[in-house]
Structure 1
Amino acid sequence: MRNPEKKTEIRIVLTSDGSSSVFNPDVNQHYHSIHGALQESQRVFIELGLYAAFERFGEIRVFEMGFGTGLNALLTLLEAEKNQRTVSYTAVETRPLSLEQARELNFDELLDCHYLKPLHEAPWNRPASITPVFELVKYEGRLQDFRTENRFNLVYFDAFAPEAQPELWTQEIFEQLAVMMHPGGLLTTYCSKGTVKRNLQAAGFLVEKHRGPAHKRDVLRAIRL
């Protein structure tokens, strides 16, 4: 069960495009690019992931490694509403923000919406209907311990960078995700390091390099073969 008193010692920061991010001193990492949290998530996860999934699949099941600020979930919800597409969204997070910390994020203001608060207030470890077309379930814990009978057609892989969490960028982790995915399913990530590409390929993915967001030359999209 989640301990409501547990808080991570973090601070909210502003990125170059005016959107919020979080800095976690324990791992010396920002949750999003300092060059623009919003534009990074839009490019890596929505343009390369969700839009492609909309074209390939009917009902969309998304799995996110790292719920974090909730920005990727928020952008996905807004696209689901805009396109009236049913999305089931599952996320795993080891360091949940407190509600007080989440209230400092400015995504609702920037995007002229009101969904970030209900995303963070949704209960842990059981489904919650945020809108008629968007269902969310958040699990607190490690990806390595996560088990599900569901199969996903889109994975947002948004773990901390390999230098901070090397255990999450291994062939074994990508094999675990491949088992959780439908054939032809998509995985997108901001990290394009050669070791990550090779580990994805060894786990049975076809890996594509794509133009990244600002100040990021390449990002990856992988297709589950």
Structure 2
Amino acid sequence: MSELIEVLTKDGSYSLRSVFFQENFHSLLGALEETKKKFTVPSDLQRFEGRSLEVLDICFGLGYNTASLINELIKQKSYLNWYALEIDKKPLEYALKNQSFQNLWAPKIQQIFSSLYRKNCFEDKFFNCKILWGDAREKINIIPATKKFDLIYLDGFSPQKCPQVWTIEFLSKVSQKLNPQGYLITYSSSAAVRKTLRNLGLEIFTIKPNLNSRNYWSQGTVAIAKFDKFKFKLNSNFDKLSVMEEEHLLTKASIPYRDQNLNSSKEDIISKRLDEQLSSNLLSTKKWRTKWGMTKSASRS
């Protein structure tokens, strides 16, 4: 699982490619750009200026999402209580050795990440951080049951490559960890993921694309717990799903990934979903794409 290849992305930031998953950690357009536009900006961090916030980072990886988060919180003097779930220590080891990665962030981040690597935790007057190594499906149960999060970042490999973290059963556990008005943020615009989150009672929004192309119609998804339209001020970086996106949730692509006992293999999860899709009367995803004049995008979803 740990065989990794260094990748230089177009914005000059470094990422990795997993040989095991046969997928890059970030878009080739830019690891740093993806982090900021798909996670940091939609987080509305100014809401927490001078306050504390609770964050869960699922599939921590190289740490771009958390590094960017902490970088902003340092500027606004916010307090962070943070958990992360990650199965593989090698990406963090790479990040700690890569000077180009370190040069992107405040020196404090090197201190925090080094402590996470050595001791699985870090604490000072502003930051209280814990990382849990292992299968996220198991390790999420170690987080205290009463702990709720203002932000949850879900940044695993794509559903077709790593369906284990995109199933109804796992996403149900994740959604139960959200505070009222908490944001679950992911780069994925998968119909299966979005439909599952909606069925779990979350209000879902699309992260607006920065490219004017039908193949880049969304940069991801924000799901909000206990949504109250009278109290909620819509973030300028995400919006309600378009008609096209709503129709996506009526296709066979919206059939969920299932993992009843939270211990199934990737192959079993994919196979069971494929059987369910083959017997479904829902509209084919191909017809949906044809209607909206799209070709299949190569980007992670």
* TM-score between both structures, scaled by the size of structure 2: 0.66
1:86 is matched with which residue?
Answer: 79
Matches within 5 A, 1:86-165: 86-97=79-90, 100-102=93-95, 103-104=97-98, 106-111=100-105, 113-123=106-116, 126-129=120-123, 132-145=125-138, 146-147=140-141, 148-149=143-144, 150-165=147-162
Aligned pairs, number: 216
Describe the shift of the 1:198–1:54 C-alpha distance in structure 2 as closer, same or farther (beyond 3 A). same
Stretches of 4+ aligned residues off by more than 6 angstroms: none
Aligned to 1:221: 222
Structure 1: distance between partners of 2:157 and 2:46: 24
In the alignment, structure 1 segments of 5+ residues that lack a partner are: 1-6
Q: 1:46 to 1:99 in 2, by over 3 A?
A: closer
User: Which is higher, the Rg of structure 1 or of structure 2?
Assistant: 2
Report which of the two has the higher share of helix: 2
Using the TM superposition, give the Cα deviation of residue 141 of structure 1 relative to its aligned residue in structure 2, in angstroms. 1.1
Kindly indicate which of the two structures has a greater share of residues assigned to strand: 1
Deviation of 1:167 after TM superposition, in Å, equals: 1.9
1:4 corresponding residue in structure 2: none
Q: 2:39 maps to which residue?
A: 45
Indicate how the Cα distance of structure 1 residues 143 and 99 shifts in structure 2: closer, same or farther if over 3 A, else same: closer
Q: Check the 8 A contact 1:53/1:154 in 2, yes or no.
A: no
Aligned-partner residue type, residue 33 of structure 2: Q
Percent identity over paired residues = 25
| Structure 1 stretch displaced more, 132-141 or 36-45 | 132-141
Instruction: Indicate which of 8, 17, 37 corresponds to 1:14.
Output: 8
| Structure 2: runs of 5 or more not aligned | 227-301
Aligned mate of 1:170, from 164, 167, 170:
167
The answer as to 2:36 corresponding to 1:35 is no
CA distance in 2, matches of 1:160, 1:99: 16
- Would the aligned equivalents of 1:172 and 1:203 in 2 still touch at CA under 8 Å? no
